[in-house]
Amino acid sequence: MLEQTWRWFGPEDRVTLRDAREAGAVGVVTALHDVPAGMVWPPDAIRKRQAEVRTAGLEWTVVESLEVTERIKTRAAGWQQDVENFAQSIRNLAHCGLHTIAYNWMPLFSWTRTHLREPAPNGGYTTRFDARSFAAFDLFMLRREGAVGDWGEQACSEAKEYFAALSIEEQTALRQTILDGLPGGHQRLTLESTTETLKAYQGLTREDLRGTLRDFLKCVGPVADECGVRLCIHPDDPPRPLLGLPRVVSTADDLRWILNQYESEANSLTFCSGALGVRADNDLLAMLREFAAGIGFLHLRSTQRDTGLGGIESFLEAAHLEGDADLIALVIEVVRESRRRQLSGDDRRLPFRADHGQELLNDVERGAAPGYPAVGRLRGLAELRGAFSMAERLLAKVGQNAGHPE
């Protein structure tokens, strides 16, 4: 059964639980954002958050995110203790009835954008990742060693011209947007702390990062199995290497490799159509069909690709039923998978959320967290609710096994 969920960042979130309920959500996606990465989530704090959600007439059903430390990803000193703490948090969450846990394996930065209030094509505002802007940050603000070689001569020239045209205010906004972090992502960084953290990744290859992920899964997978928990890894956002760091959750090959490292429902995917859809070489529908059985959580959104730089795409967050991702086709496939699970006796709910949203109407005045406005997400969830209803009727009419409607 599909479950409509809504991300909530805790009592400080300007978009309230009442807003979530009125939008039609039944499940809440949240986390203990005040617990530092690497520390155990205390049962009392988990139960307190559950009580806050239940008081609003909702249920906390998905944890997003239980953070993985940089020490685990780089296998730095102390990583084993961080893994044990992660495992204990799994046990505590499961004891409180939480069995879907999302996490990511993005080094240093979580989801990354360069602009938080880009004018949207049809009005309102949206978030944007501009490769040229990010190159300017990397080359002329961070001044990362090796950046010139990574970007290449042509990209460096374009980034230099772009950076020279920025005002002091625009430079400050760009730096703060990248370093301050986005909701649910990394802690606030400085140029100095970013440079120091990059040193921990120095020499780490794509295969090395895959290796630490494999070891992590072998450590925490059995714990999740024992607790009946699905650990759902989120794709890289954007799905390209940044700051010279490899990324290993970006393509169909990556997802296939991950699921093969620990073959269990405990090792699952957060299928994010927005993150994966940034790459034109990712066939979202084919990927959803291939990995459907391994999906434990769904993020449904769309992006619109634009001219990139140095092999990295630029894009903005499109309205949910616009942009490059065909969400109607994806929704039909999701309903098919939901029906398959029901027929097989799997009665666990498949949670989804209208991920991100454009700032519309009074969203600007409310001042919600970047990417998570009230009205924009309400519109997205309403559109998806209609799409799911359409898909249910379509499949009931043509039959579950009548082929894949395109």
Catalytic residue among 272, 320, 324, 363: 272
Residue 355 known to be catalytic? yes
CA 292 to chain centre: 18
**Closest-CA residue to 303 (of 285, 328, 321, 278):** 278
Is 272 assigned a catalytic role? yes
**Which two structure tokens, joined as six digits, stand for 176?**
């703060």
Q: Within 13 Å and on the Cβ side, how many CA atoms surround 255? A: 28
Q: Which of 99, 186, 234, 320 is catalytic?
A: 234
What separation in angstroms does the CA of 304 have from each of 130, 140, 275?
12, 27, 11
Give the tokens for residue 45: 């704090």
Q: Residue 356: count other Cβ atoms within 10 Å of its Cβ.
A: 27
Instruction: Identify the CA nearest to 373 among candidates 303, 305, 317.
Output: 317
Is 115 an annotated catalytic residue? Answer: no
Selecting among 99, 186, 299, 320, the annotated active-site residue is: 299
In angstroms, the CA 354 to CA 174 distance is 27
Q: What b/e string do you get for 362-394 counting C-beta neighbours within 10 Å, with b at 16 or more? A: ebeeeebbbbbbbbbbbbbbebbeebbeebbee
Catalytic residue at 234?
yes
> What's the order of all strands across the beta sheet hosting 115-119?
115-119, 125-129, 312-318, 302-309
Catalytic residue numbers read 234, 272, 299, 355-356, 372
